[in-house]
Amino acid sequence: MKKFFVKALLFLALMVAGDFVLGSVFDMWFSKMTDGSVGRNNYICNSMTEDILVFGSSRARHHYDTKILSDSLGMSCYNLGQDGCGILLSYGRLMMVMNNHKPKVVICDISGYDIEKSDNIVQIHALKPYYSKAPELSTLFHDVDSTEPIKMMSRLYRYNTDYVHNPKALFKSASKVKYKPDKLFGYKPIKEKFDPMKIRKSREDGPVPEWNVDSLKITYLQRFVDCLGDDVVTVFVASPFWYGRKQYDVSLIEDFCKKNNIAFADFQSDTLFVHNNSLFVDGTHLNVHGAEIFTNKVVDLVKSQIESRKLTK
């Protein structure tokens, strides 16, 4: 029995040591990467200094042209939009950015990802490698899943399991797209033409969807705003849909913005974009031309807020 316990302790010690060593290798590996999605995340979490930050889902990433925002407003700009994610990821990234830099303007594109119930742990998955970068991340992961802080004790767990089981996937993700923050600054234009096959008839003709509200996301939406404070010009925007009607009832967001004295603009049914095939690639995402027109509208909105707040450029 004594030998069994000795062997068990030895095995456990080897497991802990192996996890530490391999986790340290991944830490070093990730920290040096400047390409692809990993390089983009490293830049956002470690090196960001831009004055204007855009947060949101894929609609944020494809709808806000950083060059137009920067040139028109006379400030540097970066687009932190992430496909399939919303306020939980935005909050985590903001916490890491705020460790080194406080922006002057924040534009938050509101979508269902920011309010509706979904698989929240998937939405903050990209934050796992940076778990130790900001104390607020521990609270975020605990609030999403109370078992996560325990799992995070494993250095390897903090990395995508696909990368752990298949290291080639890491190189593939890093080399697939050469990430150069000095060019597009996070913005990802879509140059494809409109595809009518991607239009969902049920969305166009059916009733306006109701929010299946996630109270945790509402909590973090408030924390996101509270973190910025009164000295940051904060603008919430619901960007256009092709369908020509309200895709979501935004009254909850409107009330939230009024409560927090935040500017809110709803472009979901802007007649300039309604059923305008030349400006969309599908019912949800603007193409590069549509993004250019829309971004100029956002510029006007931000300019009015800057003027009213007398922000010093």
Tens digits of residue pLDDT in 129-141: 888 888 899 999 9
Residue 296 pLDDT class (50, 70, 90 cuts): very high
pLDDT, mean of residues 76-95: 94
φ and ψ at residue 93, rounded to 5 degrees: -65, -40
The average pLDDT across 147-158 equals 85
- The confidence score (pLDDT) of residue 313 equals 47
249 phi and psi angles, rounded to 5 deg? -75, 110
Q: How many CA atoms lie within 13 A of 260 on its CB side?
A: 24
What is the pLDDT at residue 114? 79
d(CA 3, CA 5): 5
pLDDT tens digits, 17-76? 666 666 667 667 676 777 777 788 888 888 899 999 999 999 999 999 999 999 999 999
Question: What proportions of the chain, in percent to the nearest 5, are helix, strand and coil?
Answer: 55, 10, 40
Segment 131-160 shows an average pLDDT of 87
Q: Is residue 300 predicted with pLDDT exceeding 80?
A: yes
- As a whole number of angstroms, the distance between CA 252 and CA 195 comes to 32
Q: At 201, is the pLDDT very low, low, confident or very high (cuts 50, 70, 90)?
A: low
